[in-house]
Structure 1
């Protein structure tokens, strides 16, 4: 059963250019993902590919100048603004990219329990800290007293205490040492095995492959492929999109071969396939037609010539 379904999501922003002139900047177009109960879906892609914007659109926290189209469903029902507000921080929880989201003037135990502070919530907070290997004295500390790993585990504990069914983790591992990364990733896997759904947003495809069930590859504001982690093997022959294959081969343990060119800016997107200018397999139609997402070999791909 899919707990979250995002179909043909597009996001643009109204921007002033000079004087009172405005333009509409299209930054996301045709994003498609789904997450099942108990599944970890990792979303990988370069900066600017739309990963965090997807998270913010699900939570309903985009800025006021954003225009959103497409469909977002949670448990089969459309996520309206009113429903987003009622579910935010309860059934749907965001673990933000920056530990600066912690209030520097409040002890972390109280932050995790907020807004409730009854006996049941205190008990849940202490159980979550114990589970995440945070010692009892941590609840009386202020954020500046925490290490990076402790701060990230504190943020994760807020989702556990609120019994969130869908947890969106936005870049939860940068700057952490390998041991702490392994612990953090295992915490997500444990939560998924209990039936919670995890959206793991990351640049680190290697970390994602350790715990995810499927990988969604984003590029320039769209989904190019959704594949099982088992497809990331060998020379990438089981992958469907040239970009996914190139990402896989660029890893140090593989060919360590960089991808020529760079991701296009939102102000200079090609008219056809967004990856076409960098693709070694480009045919004339690629520069004219933006492919639809289609099912292929138990995965999904947005490419004219993928087989």
Structure 2
């Protein structure tokens, strides 16, 4: 497979959207690369499934030192992000991401429904006119217990964890009670870090664009470690999307109290593209 040959066949995408709706696809797409990539996200099996997505430069940056972030991902990386949104029940972002970029978080580049937008805003930083708070799919504003409640959009109050942050495990449980179980964690870096370090991520998708920024905001920023034995080591395959390169990383998500580090997961074979 060459860097320009990855494509999502229309029949494959229709099958994935059917799977997202809980229906049986009309045909078996077997080892089609697009099917093996998106099928775990489209499938509904009654439990929460979390995929985190980062679009970054070759040197791991998502913005310049002045916050310029558009465009880093190429057209194919951008389309991939919109496919993830279309397959998710809800997309989660932090307040900092909304304040900095004012994203819509809707599906526009591909066919499919827009997810519910879930904005983690414990301190009330997000302005009422933020684009993601209106439009197709609806929005949920997540605040900390004891703070000032809000009525519009739908609000959700959660406890803070031992570090003073909103508990990501409690958030997933609250979303599941609303039948929102397939979750895309889109940003920013701090929000993705909290879900990763809590052991709650099934898949991490990192799309890398052929651009070198040299300095600026990192795409992934985890707590420091002393030894490489403590590093996250997911099983990973590499897929050329065209304009960007995708690293599809799988973890065995922890279902009980989170450990210090995540366990290694597995990725189904997709024709040897690893």
Common fold, TM-score beyond 0.5? no
Interval containing the TM-score (normalised by the shorter chain)? 0.3 to 0.5
Structure with bigger RCO (C-alpha 8 Å, 6+ apart): 2
Q: TM-score, normalised by structure 2?
A: 0.36
Structure with the largest fraction of helix: 1
Which one has a bigger Cα radius of gyration? 1
Per the normalisation by structure 1, the TM-score is 0.33
